[in-house]
A and B are shown apart, each in its own frame.
Chain A
Amino acid sequence: GAGVSQSPSNKVTEKGKDVELRCDPISGHTALYWYRQSLGQGLEFLIYFQGNSAPDKSGLPSDRFSAERTGGSVSTLTIQRTQQEDSAVYLCASSADAGLGRNEQFFGPGTRLTVL
């Protein structure tokens, strides 16, 4: 079956513009995660969704960042008024169910965001 897909693969934008990044998880996976990967910083947790529960937004770095998940499937990460420090690779992952943190996460290829 298809894995996790993300679009676009690359996004170049100007400072101050808004961007939307999309994630299509593996069909049937109830948990979905967003991470930011910067050089030398590892994977920084941003947000996760689990079923119909309220998302854990504790990793979002500022109120310019938001995410939604429609119909328990596709998710969109939105960054408003982008800044140069937002440049990074944004990774999405899904898992069969959150299982209180014991399950394997399947990662997408990422979206490389460059803010000029």
Chain B
Amino acid sequence: AQSVTQLDSQVPVFEEAPVELRCNYSSSVSVYLFWYVQYPNQGLQLLLKYLSGSTLVKGINGFEAEFNKSQTSFHLRKPSVHISDTAEYFCAVSDRGSGTYKYIFGTGTRLKVLA
């Protein structure tokens, strides 16, 4: 069964520094990949998604992610973070062509941007 691993439960980073949040999934079958963000006291919202095509995906708020099929990874990056990026970030995957509409989420990474 598909699983998603976000190894870092918390990532502290200073404002204007770069950040990478790691995401690995278990199955090498074709997948769709997503990053969602949950700001404090708000619901989850889509940050970006990979469906096909270019492996570098750009999302909202200056975030981007790179799909690496050989390493089964979909790491999220931002070159310069802002205080307002403090939130919890969830990676999710669904299997293409599996006939299921199920999404599997990781356990989340709490990004804390320090002044």
- Report whether B43 and A48 are in contact in the complex, using a CB–CB cutoff of 8 Å: no
Residues of A within 8 A of B108 (CB): 42-43
Bound-complex Cα distance A82 to B49 (A): 36
- Report whether B101 and A104 are in contact in the complex, using a CB–CB cutoff of 8 Å: no
Distance between B36 CB and nearest chain A CB, rounded to angstroms? 8
The number of residue pairs between A and B whose CB atoms lie closer than 8 Å in the complex comes to 71
Partner of B96, one of A3, A98, A101: A101
- Report whether B90 and A108 are in contact in the complex, using a CB–CB cutoff of 8 Å: no
Point out which of B44, B90, B97, B108 has the most chain A C-beta atoms below 10 A from its C-beta.
Answer: B44
Bound-complex Cα distance A67 to B45 (A): 24
- Report whether A101 and B103 are in contact in the complex, using a CB–CB cutoff of 8 Å: yes
Residues of A within 8 A of B15 (CB): none
- The proximity string for B residues 22-46 relative to A, scoring 1 for CB distances below 8 Å and 0 otherwise, is 0000000000101010000011111
A40 adjacent to chain B (CB < 8 Å): yes
Residues of B within 8 A of A7 (CB): none
A13 adjacent to chain B (CB < 8 Å): no
Distance between A95 CB and nearest chain B CB, rounded to angstroms? 8
The interface size of chain A toward B, counting residues with CB under 8 Å, comes to 29
Bound-complex Cα distance A108 to B38 (A): 11
Partner of B101, one of A3, A31, A40, A42: A31
B73 adjacent to chain A (CB < 8 Å): no
Partner of B43, one of A33, A40, A44, A107: A107
Evaluate whether A50 and B107 lie within 8 angstroms (CB atoms) in the complex, with A100-B96, A107-B43, A107-B45 already known: no
Q: Which A residues lie at the B interface, using CB under 8 A?
A: 3-4, 31, 33, 35, 40-45, 48, 50, 56, 58-59, 91, 93, 98-102, 104-105, 107-110
Listed from nearest, the 10 A-B pairs whose CB atoms lie closest are A101-B94, A42-B107, A98-B101, A43-B105, A107-B44, A107-B43, A104-B46, A102-B32, A109-B43, A42-B108
8 contacts between A and B (CB under 8 A): A56-B102, A59-B102, A101-B96, A101-B101, A101-B102, A102-B49, A102-B96, A105-B103
